[in-house]
Amino acid sequence: MNKNTKNLSIFKFFKNSKKFSIKWSSYFQVYEKIFSEYRNKKIKFVEIGVANGGSLLMWQKYFGKKAKIIGIDLNPKAKKLEKNGFKIYIGNQSDKNFWDNFYKKEGKVDIILDDGGHKNLQQISTVHYSLPFIRDGGKIIVEDTGTSYIKKEFNNPSRYSFMNYAKNIIDNIHRRSPLLKKKLSFYSKKIFLVEFFESIVVFSIDSKKCFQNKEVYNKAQNEWAIDYRHNEYFGKLKMKLDRKYGLLNKRSPLRRIIRKIFYRNLIFNILDNIKIKKIFKELEN
Ligand SMILES: C[S@@+](CC[C@H](N)C(=O)[O-])C[C@H]1O[C@@H](n2cnc3c(N)ncnc32)[C@H](O)[C@@H]1O
């Protein structure tokens, strides 16, 4: 076991839990990073996937007495754990009706952690149906997202894998940029931040921070800076042509042609893509 992990309080609670639990060893450092701010606070924490209750006991110790710890499982035997001070709901995480009833009873929650069935529909349903009911400042965490790459049992990789859904959410939150000229969606209005760890994805919810972006200026003058983005290639040649033919003269028809060739033309893309391809190859190896 990694030395740093051994010293984490969450790991100690895991090891000393009176009931059986299995977690991946890298998860504890992630838990400390994303959960430490909620310790000893009055929060509602929900875990999907209760099994023997080992992790529920770990969360109970970690978050402290003020936290309400709720478990969800398809297995009716999990109900027994209510005598340990948890609220247990029996139901299917892929079922919209289950979530409707759950949130009708519980109202908004702070954190929901999915350690349930790990299939695409199960993980996606957790995020989709829970998103409206997470308090600002809260999180949705999906564990074992490595299943998005596994064929056996999980039918992945697939266009509809959980990780592809998560990547779509990344695209979606970019709608907050006016440059995209797209309407804000329910996702882009709620999810402020997405973090990817190995086999864990964390969505941080904060509707107050999810506004349509805009450019802001300070009071100083722009003295000399112009964007040299398009001068990366053939910069010197452009300057020469400019001096000779007045390329920068706005009325020059040549300017339009040159701009097309140098700015919006395929040439740049082709030259860039040759370099990018090499980098992608290294990434994929
Ligand atoms: C990996 S175990 C949970 C382990 C537990 N969190 C721990 O660390 O000790 C997965 C649990 O998810 C439950 N589960 C599987 N599919 C489910 C579904 N569709 N809805 C709710 N629970 C489900 C299983 O019954 C099982 O108890």
- Domains in the chain, start-ordered, CATH in brackets? 3-209 (3.40.50.150), 228-284 (no CATH)
Q: Which residues of the chain have pLDDT under 50?
A: none
Pocket (CB within 6 angstroms of ligand 1)? 21, 23, 47-52, 54-55, 72-75, 92-94, 115-117, 122
pLDDT of amino acid 265: 62
pLDDT of amino acid 262: 63
Closest ligand 1 atom, residue 73 Cα: 22
What is the whole-number distance in angstroms between the Cα of residue 115 and the centre of ligand 1?
Answer: 6
**Which mutation among 19, 75, 96 tests ligand 1's pocket best, with the greatest number of atoms within 8 A of CB?**
75
pLDDT of amino acid 261: 67
Spatial separation of the C-alpha atoms in residues 174 and 33, rounded to whole Å:
25
Report the predicted TM-score, pTM, of the whole model to 2 decimal places: 0.91
**Which mutation among 23, 61, 81, 93 tests ligand 1's pocket best, with the greatest number of atoms within 8 A of CB?**
93
- By C-alpha distance, which of 149, 181, 152, 182 is closest to 164? 149
pLDDT of amino acid 234: 74
Spatial separation of the C-alpha atoms in residues 76 and 68, rounded to whole Å:
20
Q: Is 5 exposed, middle or buried (0-12, 13-18, 19+ CB in 10 A)?
A: middle
pLDDT of amino acid 249: 65
What is the whole-number distance in angstroms between the Cα of residue 173 and the centre of ligand 1?
Answer: 30
